[in-house]
Amino acid sequence: MDFTAKHLLFALLISSTKALEPCGFQPDNSDLPVIPIYDKYSPFNQPKPESWVNTIIDMSSKDPTRVKYLSTLAPQKTTAVPIASGLQLPSICNYVVKVKLGTPGQTMFMVLDTSNDIAWAPCSDCTGCSPTTFSPNASSSYGSLGCSLPQCTQVHGLSCPAIGAAACSYNQSYVPPQGLLGLGRGPLSLILQSGSLYSIVFSYCLPSFKSYYFSGSLKLGHVGQPDNIQTTPLLKNPHRPSLYYVNLTGVSVGQVQVPIAPEYLAFNPNPRAGTFIDSGTVVTRFVQPIYQAIRNEFVKQVKGPFTTIGVFETCFDASAEVEAPLITLHFEGLSLKLPMENSFLHTSAGSRACLTIAPVPNNVKAAMNVIANLQQQNHRILFDVANSRLGIAHEACN
Ligand SMILES: *[C@@H]1O[C@H](CO)[C@@H](O)[C@H](O)[C@H]1NC(C)=O
Ligand SMILES: *[C@@H]1O[C@H](CO)[C@@H](O)[C@H](O)[C@H]1NC(C)=O
Ligand SMILES: *[C@@H]1O[C@H](CO)[C@@H](O)[C@H](O)[C@H]1NC(C)=O
C-alpha cells in the first residue's frame, strides 16, 4: 500500500494522557507503550496467530530484504543525508509505538525503527493510509517547511514552483502505511532534532511477540532510565550514520568461547564491516564464518538429530532444551547471556526447539552482523547517544 506523504519534518510533541493502558501501563509524555503488531491492543487488526513459530518465521522472512537494504546504503557525498531517497525499506511491522502527535495530542500508532532517521506520519489527506491519520489542521504546533530551505533539499523534496512561496513537499511511496517512528542517529534524525526535549537519550523494552496482552515501553529522555546499567560504546560509521554500531568482541556457546577470526568481528567502516543493533530485524544474523562457528559448537554440545524449520537450521528435540548451552554475546565492556526464551523457539506442538540465530543472506556483500529484536526482547536497551554508549539490562516487560 503506497501513500504520498507530505511535510516531513515535524517535532514529536507528546502530550500527557491519563488513560489507563493495558496492565496498568500509565504513559506520561516521555514513557510510551510499545506493542507487538499481533498484540490484542494493536489497532492493525491482525488475527491472533494460530502458531507463533510460523508467525515468527513469516516475520523473519522479511529480514533478508531489510538486511540487504541496510547493507547497501550508499556512502554520503555531503554531510546532508538524503534519508528519503530510494527508500525501499520492506515492511517492518514488528512493533508499534502509541504516541500523541501535535497540540492537542492526536493518538497515532507508529512503527518503531532504530535504523531509520525519518519520522513519517500519514496525514488526513493521505490516500491508502491506515485509519489513524494525523490532521495538521487540528494541531496548533504544526508548521510546514519552506521548499527553499536546505532541509527540504536534504530530504529530496520536490522543487519549488517557479513563482510564489510554497511548502516543502515530496513524493514518496512507503510501507508501512501506519507511519514510522525512526529513532536512528543520523544528522537529520528525530532523535537529534528533539535533543533539547529528550537529551538524545532513549530506551525501550520490547515484549515478546507471544505476549498477546502486554505492552513494553519506549522512554524518551533521562527520566526513568536505569542508572545502574552495563554499557558498551556505540561506534559511528560515516557511511551509515543512522545505524547503532557496537563492538562485538566474541561469542560463547555455554562455557566455550567459539573461535572467530578477528576480521569477522572488527568494526571497519571502509569495507563496511561491523555489528549493529536493530529493532526492525527479527532474527539475529551473523556473517557465515561466525554463524558456522557458533552452530558447530552448539551441535557439539547438544544431542541431535538436527532439523531445519524455516530460517532456523538447528532444531532439536525440545526435551534437550533445558540442558542446551546458552549463547553469550561479548561486547566491549558488556556480556549479554541470552536467556532461554531469547535463544530458542518452540514449535507449536512443543516437540522441537530451534536455535534462533541465522546467517546473513548470501547476497549481502558487506560483512555485517545484526543483533535483532528476538534477542532483545525483555531487556531494557538504553541508547545513550549523547554519551555514545548502549546499555543492556534484563527487564521483564511481558
Ligand atoms: C486544512 O486547511 C486547509 C487551509 O485552511 C484546507 O485547504 C484543507 O482542506 C484543510 N484540510 C483538512 C483535512 O481539513
Ligand atoms: C508521485 O510518484 C508517483 C509514482 O512514482 C507518480 O505516479 C505521481 O505522478 C507522482 N506525483 C507527483 C505529484 O509528483
Ligand atoms: C573493540 O574492543 C576491543 C577489545 O576491547 C578493542 O581492542 C578494539 O579496539 C575495539 N574496537 C573499536 C573499533 O573500538
d(CA 324, CA 301) in angstroms, rounded, equals: 7
- Pocket residue to mutate for ligand 1, from 126, 137, 139, 169, most atoms within 8 A of Cβ: 137
Q: Is 113 a catalytic residue?
A: yes
Where would I find the H helices in 72-160?
150-154
The yes-or-no verdict on residue 178 having pLDDT over 90 is: no
The pLDDT of 125-142, averaged and rounded, is 82
The yes-or-no verdict on residue 156 having pLDDT over 90 is: no
More confident residue, 51 or 284: 284
d(CA 62, CA 60) in angstroms, rounded, equals: 5
C-alpha cell at 60: 523473519
The yes-or-no verdict on residue 283 having pLDDT over 50 is: yes
Residue 1 lies in a domain: no
Per-residue pLDDT band for 345 (boundaries 50, 70, 90) equals very high
More confident residue, 228 or 355: 355
Highest mean pLDDT range out of 2-6, 130-134, 171-175, 206-210?
206-210
Residues 6+ apart with CB under 8 A from 382: 201, 202, 203, 225, 226, 229, 231, 390, 391, 392, 393
The yes-or-no verdict on residue 94 having pLDDT over 50 is: yes
Give the chain's mean pLDDT.
82
Per-residue pLDDT band for 90 (boundaries 50, 70, 90) equals low
Which of 39, 63, 117, 278 is the catalytic position? Answer: 278
Tell me how far the alpha carbon of residue 171 lies from the centroid of ligand 2, in angstroms.
6
The pLDDT of 346-351, averaged and rounded, is 82
Q: Is the peptide bond before 305 cis (omega within 30 degrees of 0)?
A: yes
For the question of whether the overall pTM of this predicted structure is more than 0.95, the answer is no
Per-residue pLDDT band for 10 (boundaries 50, 70, 90) equals very low
d(CA 72, CA 243) in angstroms, rounded, equals: 13
More confident residue, 127 or 300: 300
Q: Is the CB of residue 138 below 6 angstroms from any atom belonging to ligand 1?
A: no
Question: In which domain, by residue range, is 370 found?
Answer: 7-394
pLDDT for the residue numbered 221: 94
Residue 80 lies in a domain: yes
Which of 113, 117, 317, 384 is the catalytic position? Answer: 113
Q: Which atom of ligand 3 is nearest to the CA of 268?
A: 13
pLDDT for the residue numbered 89: 54
What is the domain-level CATH number for residue 155? Answer: 2.40.70.10
Q: Is 28 a catalytic residue?
A: no
Report the range of poorest mean pLDDT among 27-31, 141-145, 276-280: 27-31
Q: Is the dihedral of CA 393, 395, 397, 398 positive or negative?
A: positive
Report the range of poorest mean pLDDT among 79-93, 130-144, 372-386: 79-93
Q: For the segment 191-216, what is each residue's pLDDT rounded down to a tens digit?
A: 888 899 899 999 999 999 887 777 89
Contact of 232 with 331, CB cutoff 8 Å:
yes
The yes-or-no verdict on residue 219 having pLDDT over 70 is: yes
Contact of 81 with 154, CB cutoff 8 Å:
yes
For residue 293, the SS3 value is helix
d(CA 120, CA 306) in angstroms, rounded, equals: 43
pLDDT for the residue numbered 353: 94
Closest CA to 357 of 397, 302, 305, 310: 310
- Which DSSP state fits 61? T
The pLDDT of 243-249, averaged and rounded, is 96
Residue 2 lies in a domain: no
Q: For the segment 49-87, what is each residue's pLDDT rounded down to a tens digit?
A: 777 788 888 888 888 888 888 887 754 443 333 333 334
The yes-or-no verdict on residue 282 having pLDDT over 80 is: yes
Number of domains into which the chain is organized: 1
pLDDT for the residue numbered 173: 62
For residue 283, the SS3 value is coil
pLDDT for the residue numbered 177: 67
Residue nearest to atom 12 of ligand 1 (CA): 137
pLDDT for the residue numbered 81: 36
The pLDDT of 257-276, averaged and rounded, is 88
Q: Please identify which residue in the block is written with the cell numbers 526535549.
A: 197
d(CA 381, CA 393) in angstroms, rounded, equals: 7
What is the percent of the chain with per-residue pLDDT over 90, rounded to a whole number?
43
Per-residue pLDDT band for 3 (boundaries 50, 70, 90) equals very low
Residue nearest to atom 4 of ligand 3 (CA): 332
